[in-house]
Amino acid sequence: MFLTGFAALAVVPTLPVAAQELDGVALFPLVAGCFVAASLLGGVLGGDWADRSGARRPIMAGTVLAVATLVVSGLSTTVWQLAAGRFLDGLAAGMITVAVNAAIAQNYPEHLRPRALALLSTCWIVPSLVGPPVAGLVAEWSSWRTVFLGLAVLTALPAIAVVFMLRDRAEEVPYRKRQSAEEVPYEKRQLSEETVTVAATVSHRPGLLLAAAVSVGAALGQYAASGWDTTHLVYAVAALALLGVFAPRLLPPGTLRAVRGLPASVLLRGLASGVFFTLEAFVPLMLVTVREVPPVQTGLAFTGAAVCWAGAAWVQSRWLGRIPRHHVVVAGALLLGAAIALAAVGTLPSVPPLTAAPAMVVAAVGMGLLAPSLTLLSLSHTPPDRQGYASSAMQTTQNLGQIVVLGVASALFNAALGAGASELPGYTAAFALLLVPTGLVVLLAARARANPA
């Protein structure tokens, strides 16, 4: 996760420079969005693979692919090759993230899982502090290609070490060794009615063709955002059709209806992630383009958000273990609501320009509490041999939430601009929209609560 986070955050500042040099500025939304689109497919692939043969192999494959994609991107001669590299990078990142979550579920006892998830969050602290500024300096002093190829060299040896360590592990999936009837007492083998329902719901494995169709729909949506002519409108319609038809089939049945248990947990993750990443996109954009805040100060807000997310994840793992997880989800959603209010106040011309900057930090604290809690709830609702599927579903809704919520907020923002309003009212409207998914998380959190012991 540290290698994944470092590579992901380090290349972000160089992507605009690379797109400009490759004469592909108009296609930049596609370059940026390919990562998210491919992680949908990677998550499904990694989850299915982890359920069938354990998390070890998808982690190994994703780690090797992550290094290869840096070489593909660094040697790009066209913007389309750069987009292909970002697509492969998203595939690797999705596979690794889901497989790591499945590994925690398969190997760690339940009381240690919150700490393991908190450790994953801390893996992003150093990359967020070091990656973007160092990559920016390297790109300025040398070339954006040096950033990609240098990261490939730096991560190659650790990646090889990971592969060799995992290769020596036992072949058998851990949960299979624990599930024999001779070793498990009869009373421990009894399943609640809800668990039986969940086992039936997730007994199917989503086809990779379904995941590929959803990824293509997400990529088409990103490409459609690069223009406003008839051609781009056609791509937008095609994207909506693909996502509308295939995305629900990729999720646990009942997700869109917030059925109790795993479907509700998965839906809440998508709603909350959409709110957070929309704030993360719009707040810095407003600060730099309208409020004229120096980019360095905006970067500090990003760093503070990463540190506070990890800190909140640590708190939930150490001090909030006895509080019902769905209550922690509500607390995190209320903090998201406070961040939205702070961002909306920051759109008022009469307030200081930096007023909206802390919104990113407050939202990160909310997500640090909320995201690990929803992951734990989803695993508690899932049979041992389907925890890779549950992790994949969480990753899928996270990415879909980003695409859908950010897309709707962007449409509202552009509609306000088209009506002749200035940019600040457009930001106000976009932030106000985020109160809807946040309110749904608060209202539906009880439907995700864990089964009574």
For the chain, what are the domain ranges? 1-182, 203-251, 253-453
pLDDT at 215: 81
Q: Determine the topology of domain 1-182 in CATH.
A: Growth Hormone; Chain: A; (1.20.1250)
pLDDT at 196: 41
Which H, E and C letters describe the chain, residue by residue? CHHHHHHHHHHHHHHHHHHHHCCCHHHHHHHHHHHHHHHHHHHHHHHHHHHHHCCHHHHHHHHHHHHHHHHHHHCCCCHHHHHHHHHHHHHHHHHHHHHHHHHHHHHCCHHHHHHHHHHHHHCCHHHHHHHHHHHHHHHHHCCHHHHHHHHHHHHHHHHHHHHHHHHCCCCCCHHHHHCCCCCCCCHHHCCCHHHHHHHHHCCCCCCHHHHHHHHHHHHHHHHHCCCCCHHHHHHHHHHHHHHHHHCHHHCCCCCCCCCCCHHHHHHHHHHHHHHHHHHHHHHHHHHHHCCCCCHHHHHHHHHHHHHHHHHHHHHHHHCCCCCCHHHHHHHHHHHHHHHHHHHHHCCCCCCCHHHHCHHHHHHHHHHHHHHHHHHHHHHHCCCHHHHHHHHHHHHHHHHHHHHHHHHHHHHHHHHHHHCCCCHHHHHHHHHHHCHHHHHHHHHHHHHHCCCCC
User: Same CATH fold, 253-453 and 1-182?
Assistant: yes
Q: What is the pLDDT along the chain (453 residues), one digit of tens a residue?
A: 887 777 777 776 677 678 778 887 666 666 766 787 788 888 888 888 888 888 888 988 998 998 999 999 999 988 889 888 988 988 898 888 888 888 888 888 888 888 888 788 777 777 777 776 777 677 777 888 888 898 888 888 888 888 888 876 655 555 454 444 444 443 333 444 444 444 444 444 556 788 888 888 887 776 776 556 677 788 888 888 988 888 888 889 999 999 999 999 999 999 999 999 889 878 887 887 788 777 667 767 877 888 888 889 888 888 877 889 999 999 999 999 999 999 999 999 889 988 999 999 999 999 999 999 998 899 888 887 777 788 878 888 988 888 788 778 877 877 777 665 567 888 899 899 999 999 999 999 999 997 654
* CATH class in words for 253-453: mainly alpha
pLDDT at 163: 83
